[in-house]
Structure 1
């Protein structure tokens, strides 16, 4: 033992890590001493050390050695002369800093390859800065030569001889790119960061100007109010003074007369009848005023247009009040963009910019003009027609919407509501309306409603819907703002609460625009980390515009030729893959011990779930099918079954369906599908049968097209004018998103196992057995579950590799054949039987 420790030398008894610590300290010390010598450089030191002899270095008296001013003495003077004078001047300080960096990594026992990029960047920066200072020193002598050194001066002189005045341009460009590389090695990211900074500065300046303008406006209004208050106070004081003067004169005038009367007789007291009569008169006046204030059966606040304009020329005794919804409060010009910018900063996985509100067309300032003559004429027709059938109406209110006007009728108590409903065709003929719909009664109100289309329709632009405070400040997970109701309010729902949507409508009724509206709303509020689309478009042209957002928002099968699915067989495979994705997500939720996707993602983001165990962030998946009828005709049950399974189970794991069809017949919209789609939208359809198929009631056949629709979610019916999204707006949005840098790997759906290759009667020979085959067999037998997802989690491998191992286990007779969405049967009961089977396989291979 003594011999071995002696032969090991001074450091023989130390551990390897302690040796590296000592070496690191020595390297850092060398770098620090070199840096100290460079910092204390003095040009006169080199002249002095040239005159020194070897004997003078060891002299004990006050010799010339002591006159050297470098902090490291003679050695420091030599080092400083080499680095500062001969090389790159004071810029050479970068070299000892790099040496210190290497020493620190050695001391911390880290990989020294981490210093490769700082070393290359530091040396390049040293040479470049020294050359730039050398060029300045050559031409203008603004700096001393010790800042650039002989090497920097020489490189600058040679470059100037070759390129002339272009040398400073070259050096400036190199300096700019070097600084950009220091900020971020990806120059595109740096440019984007600079653009964001400039945009933020502009936005801050605009916000400051807006705040300043608002303060000025508030100050002006405050001054105006104060001036008005002062004026009112002056008038009040003047009136008070006049009143006091007049009272004084009356007292003076009545004083002698009062004395005379009092001498003759006492004044008569007021009688009880006079007092009661005066009190009753005041009560009647008060009741009359209250009656005038009550102008509607519905007490909700609405903007009122004076009913005198309608009633003053009428001969009958039924007045009409006209109401126009005020609409939702508009958000600030850039409020949605600012909120989206903050939301994009919260998600660091990929740099993403939300589409701005400027990409959408601004609506013209047409407002919701009310044609009082039209309302007056419709009111006269309705009352006249009902009066002929002995139906008495006590009052009528008109609520003007963008597409239709709702006339609220308050019938007399003895009128049967079904009687009014039976005259729908008579009223439709009398008003010559394209589509007239009667609601008897209006849900939630004690009135009968008659919806009559307006003569001039108002287009609801998507910008006027998205730029409202209701949409901007919404905290819905998947917010969808369809359009505006009759009362001019934005109608918005959360797709996660619906949880699936069935859409039907004839050709040209606005069905595809409605789907575009849904997609646009989601693109303006959802980050690509949190949302993916699966788009199935058998017509091949309706959803083709969204191919540009493939890198950000589309989920596809691995190796898919097109991001938008147009082939029926590919649609079937995709829907089955979605059911497999659903099953895998349920396994993850079970392992995470949560009940829905929102709680799972919160747990994952907080670090409570381990990524190495197969856990991952789960985005919402919205499946859009633009024409269900074509798929049902060609595939039938193969399409219906996965849709029904997804509709029944996929809500909790964040998969939501939006299915549209232009032929809502019973063989397309089957009972199984209808039962799982409580939320439905009906655009104009051809017949009452189609309306009952989609809504379970009539009404959709009386719609007037161009986005006029009825929405139900299992309760009442809401009439909405769909927001209009033009093709140009969709192109602008998709271009804006598509031009950004997307994800390196697209979101891929799981690959289905091939039944044909896994269910043959004769097992395929075991070729290219995976190295994890034996470990996978033990996991399967231990858990008695032949599941691909189980191998993914336990062995920490990908889906495709786990699927190949399961196929090999089937060929070896360890698991049973493919059984759809359920796990395969395990044919081996315990590990002893497995060991025998594995030994037989080894002998067979030999």
Structure 2
């Protein structure tokens, strides 16, 4: 009895994970033994085991048991006869393979329900392949049936009896669909993939042909150049010989005196050396001419788009440049990379959204209106000439929204003088928004940005489907749009590390937030990224409810994953600060400095889950309207935002805060100091522009996605990429249809001290503002911490302690979550009586 108890205690001492590992090893061993018996099948073994008796089995020195050839002996012979002969032949190897897979999942403590599809697919493939082989066995009388088994032959014969010759067509169609399903369960995606392979093969062949043609053309040109050079050498040699013959004629003036070579050269010089020196001088002169031409402008531009427009009324020429743009990625390059990235993370089977969900931009391109550029150039020169400002040259750089005119003023012109005529130029050009950069950062020129008469829409697909975005290794890549140079502007949110967005209503602020979310959805796996969305307007971010099971992080018990209530927003931000503190504790225990090093250490198995370690995804907090939160909550919202902005970078929490009212009481100094990266859309006044950017310029933007970006350094003008509502619905619908996580990513719950039961004694260490706070609470009949903060001008922690003391004194009720406490005292007379009783008790 004691022995039995000790063995039970020994088994009970094993951890749950160790038990699962033992079970997994046993299941894998079972699968391996079955596979060994099938692989070592011999038809003669079954006849031997029929003649075996118990004596034969127990006596190892004699009997037919020794002649069994199966690797698993008698048991293996029985198993092999059942699986190979009775069932589906060698196709029965699918069964031990499935058992091995189950054992591996149990050993690795993975969810076995993920094997439902592989199990069904494996059994179906076993039956199908066995039936196909059985059909050929029936039709052509194959000698051995070990590949299909009796069940495969019987299934094929039944199918032949029912459908005749059509049976092989049916089996062929089933085989094709089975292979396609193996590649991808979405047959349409598989067909597109196969078509993509053929298209890539055609592109490779055509590229090889073009390369061969280019090589032949280059060889032909080299031969022509060599022939021309040879002919030139012959002509020069003939001319040199004629000159020498003329000099050697008797009676000629030059024949009486010897010809002396130039100084520094040898006395004797052959004709080939003279020709070679002449050719070298010609080559040097041509190289110098090319360098002089190239030194005019070294900026990379599309040579096809470079045009010269000569002035008619003046002698200043203008050079027009159109940015070449970023190289477009392959049609399916992003999808292929995302598929490989999805395979690397085995926790949930996830498909990245495909590029075909996005609208394709029209093929009209950015047309250059030379007449408009010429007219603006005439107006600018005429206006500056009237004020005696001389301009030596102008370059026009055409962008999607505006054209930048680079002016090269004379050396004696003051730059501030040009800047003072901004309003005159704006009136003369009749432009909606004209912005002067004096000088352009990094260039010795003055810039004047004039809006184009015809604007170009930058579609999100033209930004995402570029090699710059596809091949980027950023953790959280954000591709906002295109610059004036027609280049994709992309940054990494982890390096910013937070973003502040401001702009008037209708300037493109919400589209910019959709652009940010879209870029992250196309590059980040849900294991590595979570969103916390706060939307007081309730409609802007509602489209993203579909991705709740994949990408959204919420507080437990929250009904709506998109936070729209102010009290819930405050609770969520405080929960995020607690999440930040917990992550810092994990980083401290792991002895690392940032989230990337921590996750690498965790993925390598260096950190133990039983000690509380876990994979930490990045969390991006999106606040669509900060002004509404600041009006209703004030300091209670500002404090957690400022704390997160100051500390949360290292643990992977990043803020994207937007507001339509960039005033100082919304974007306070505490918030502004911790957001070096800022985006300004069109604002109403210069004061708003200085509030968000610390400089003017945002008031001169022309709206509809026209924006200025700064990260503490220079200013970049960008045309925001356009994301339509239909595109957002397509992307979220594509993600939402997939199976999400069984358990959502939950943020920690915030509990006040009174809710935990650790309440200080009200009769000891009573706050000096206790009576004043009690009168305020009774007067307003509202037991709120924020009310005490505003009326008494104290901090959150002190106000919370006073509320706890009021609760213990019986003045307010218990903690009720986000709602205010109930006030238990009805008027001031009752309060005075209660306070007198407390004083007597304290004495």
For residue 400 of structure 1, report the CA deviation from its aligned partner: 1.9
Give me the whole-angstrom Cα distance separating, in 1, the residues matched to 2:539 and 2:233: 79
For residue 223 of structure 1, the aligned residue among 204, 212, 216 is: 216
For residue 476 of structure 1, the aligned residue among 474, 478, 485 is: 474
SS in 2 for 1:338: helix
Contact 2:586–2:613 (CA<8 Å) still a contact in 1?
yes
Q: Which residue pairs with 1:671 in the alignment?
A: 669
Give me the whole-angstrom Cα distance separating, in 1, the residues matched to 2:137 and 2:685: 91
Taking a change above 3 Å as real, the CA distance of residues 142 and 756 of structure 1, as seen in their structure-2 partners, is farther
SS in 2 for 1:397: strand
Residues 622-648 of structure 1, C-alpha deviation per residue, up to 9 Å, x if partnerless?
A: 011111122222222222222122111
Q: Which residue pairs with 1:211 in the alignment?
A: 204
Contact 1:531–1:622 (CA<8 Å) still a contact in 2?
yes
Give me the whole-angstrom Cα distance separating, in 1, the residues matched to 2:79 and 2:526: 53
SS in 2 for 1:689: helix
Residues 404-459 of structure 1, C-alpha deviation per residue, up to 9 Å, x if partnerless?
A: 11222233333332222221111100111110011122222232221111112222
Q: Which residue pairs with 2:791 in the alignment?
A: none
Give me the whole-angstrom Cα distance separating, in 2, the residues matched to 1:611 and 1:681: 40
Contact 1:408–1:449 (CA<8 Å) still a contact in 2?
yes
Give me the whole-angstrom Cα distance separating, in 2, the residues matched to 1:308 and 1:433: 24
Give the alignment of 1:358-377 within 5 angstroms: 358-377=356-375
Q: Which residue pairs with 2:769 in the alignment?
A: none
SS in 1 for 2:494: coil
Taking a change above 3 Å as real, the CA distance of residues 762 and 269 of structure 1, as seen in their structure-2 partners, is closer
Q: Which residue pairs with 1:833 in the alignment?
A: none
SS in 2 for 1:503: strand
Residues 219-254 of structure 1, C-alpha deviation per residue, up to 9 Å, x if partnerless?
A: 1111122122223333444455455556666766x4
Structure 2's unaligned 5+ residue stretches are 4-21, 57-61, 101-105, 264-282, 762-807, 809-813, 818-843
- Provide TM-score, normalisation by structure 2: 0.69
Q: Which residue pairs with 1:261 in the alignment?
A: 253
Taking a change above 3 Å as real, the CA distance of residues 92 and 605 of structure 1, as seen in their structure-2 partners, is closer
Contact 1:482–1:723 (CA<8 Å) still a contact in 2?
yes
Taking a change above 3 Å as real, the CA distance of residues 561 and 189 of structure 1, as seen in their structure-2 partners, is farther
SS in 2 for 1:394: strand
SS in 1 for 2:504: coil
Q: Which residue pairs with 2:629 in the alignment?
A: 631
Contact 1:90–1:147 (CA<8 Å) still a contact in 2?
no
- Structure 1, 392-401 or 478-487: larger mean CA deviation: 392-401
Q: Which residue pairs with 1:727 in the alignment?
A: 725
Contact 2:498–2:676 (CA<8 Å) still a contact in 1?
yes
Q: Which residue pairs with 2:296 in the alignment?
A: 295
Give the alignment of 1:396-795 within 5 angstroms: 396-753=394-751, 757-758=755-756
Q: Which residue pairs with 2:272 in the alignment?
A: none
Q: Which residue pairs with 1:7 in the alignment?
A: none
Q: Which residue pairs with 2:351 in the alignment?
A: 353
SS in 2 for 1:396: strand
SS in 2 for 1:502: strand
Give me the whole-angstrom Cα distance separating, in 2, the residues matched to 1:330 and 1:728: 24
For residue 136 of structure 1, report the CA deviation from its aligned partner: 7.3
Give me the whole-angstrom Cα distance separating, in 1, the residues matched to 2:369 and 2:407: 20
Q: Which residue pairs with 2:162 in the alignment?
A: 165
Give me the whole-angstrom Cα distance separating, in 2, the residues matched to 1:226 and 1:541: 65
Q: Which residue pairs with 2:45 in the alignment?
A: 40
Taking a change above 3 Å as real, the CA distance of residues 238 and 290 of structure 1, as seen in their structure-2 partners, is closer
Give me the whole-angstrom Cα distance separating, in 1, the residues matched to 2:443 and 2:460: 30
Q: Which residue pairs with 1:277 in the alignment?
A: none
Taking a change above 3 Å as real, the CA distance of residues 177 and 685 of structure 1, as seen in their structure-2 partners, is same
For residue 145 of structure 1, report the CA deviation from its aligned partner: 11
Give me the whole-angstrom Cα distance separating, in 2, the residues matched to 1:583 and 1:170: 66
Q: Which residue pairs with 1:387 in the alignment?
A: 385
Give me the whole-angstrom Cα distance separating, in 2, the residues matched to 1:166 and 1:225: 63
For residue 495 of structure 1, report the CA deviation from its aligned partner: 0.5
Give the number of the structure whose alpha-carbon radius of gyration is greater.
1
Taking a change above 3 Å as real, the CA distance of residues 126 and 477 of structure 1, as seen in their structure-2 partners, is closer
For residue 728 of structure 1, report the CA deviation from its aligned partner: 2.3
- Provide TM-score, normalisation by structure 1: 0.69
For residue 166 of structure 1, report the CA deviation from its aligned partner: 8.0
Q: Which residue pairs with 1:60 in the alignment?
A: none
SS in 2 for 1:165: helix
Taking a change above 3 Å as real, the CA distance of residues 644 and 156 of structure 1, as seen in their structure-2 partners, is closer
Contact 2:138–2:153 (CA<8 Å) still a contact in 1?
no
Taking a change above 3 Å as real, the CA distance of residues 79 and 145 of structure 1, as seen in their structure-2 partners, is farther
Give me the whole-angstrom Cα distance separating, in 2, the residues matched to 1:317 and 1:537: 57
Taking a change above 3 Å as real, the CA distance of residues 39 and 401 of structure 1, as seen in their structure-2 partners, is same
Contact 2:477–2:492 (CA<8 Å) still a contact in 1?
yes
SS in 1 for 2:185: helix
For residue 612 of structure 1, report the CA deviation from its aligned partner: 0.6
Contact 1:482–1:722 (CA<8 Å) still a contact in 2?
yes
Give me the whole-angstrom Cα distance separating, in 1, the residues matched to 2:715 and 2:558: 41
For residue 682 of structure 1, report the CA deviation from its aligned partner: 0.4
Give me the whole-angstrom Cα distance separating, in 2, the residues matched to 1:609 and 1:550: 29
For residue 129 of structure 1, report the CA deviation from its aligned partner: 10
Give me the whole-angstrom Cα distance separating, in 2, the residues matched to 1:85 and 1:287: 87
Give me the whole-angstrom Cα distance separating, in 2, the residues matched to 1:99 and 1:411: 82
Give the alignment of 1:8-19 within 5 angstroms: none
Taking a change above 3 Å as real, the CA distance of residues 142 and 70 of structure 1, as seen in their structure-2 partners, is farther
Taking a change above 3 Å as real, the CA distance of residues 244 and 668 of structure 1, as seen in their structure-2 partners, is same
Give me the whole-angstrom Cα distance separating, in 2, the residues matched to 1:126 and 1:482: 47
SS in 2 for 1:480: strand
SS in 2 for 1:361: coil
Give me the whole-angstrom Cα distance separating, in 1, the residues matched to 2:212 and 2:361: 32
For residue 547 of structure 1, report the CA deviation from its aligned partner: 1.7
Give the alignment of 1:66-215 within 5 angstroms: 71=67, 89-91=85-87, 142=141, 165=162, 192=185, 202-215=195-208
For residue 327 of structure 1, report the CA deviation from its aligned partner: 2.1
Taking a change above 3 Å as real, the CA distance of residues 256 and 617 of structure 1, as seen in their structure-2 partners, is closer
Contact 1:131–1:148 (CA<8 Å) still a contact in 2?
yes
Taking a change above 3 Å as real, the CA distance of residues 761 and 654 of structure 1, as seen in their structure-2 partners, is closer
SS in 2 for 1:534: strand
Taking a change above 3 Å as real, the CA distance of residues 685 and 87 of structure 1, as seen in their structure-2 partners, is closer
Taking a change above 3 Å as real, the CA distance of residues 160 and 423 of structure 1, as seen in their structure-2 partners, is closer
For residue 291 of structure 1, report the CA deviation from its aligned partner: 6.1
Residues 168-211 of structure 1, C-alpha deviation per residue, up to 9 Å, x if partnerless?
A: 99999999999999x9xxx9998639888776655444433322
Q: Which residue pairs with 2:276 in the alignment?
A: none
Contact 1:304–1:322 (CA<8 Å) still a contact in 2?
no
- Structure 1, 204-213 or 541-550: larger mean CA deviation: 204-213
Contact 1:623–1:656 (CA<8 Å) still a contact in 2?
yes
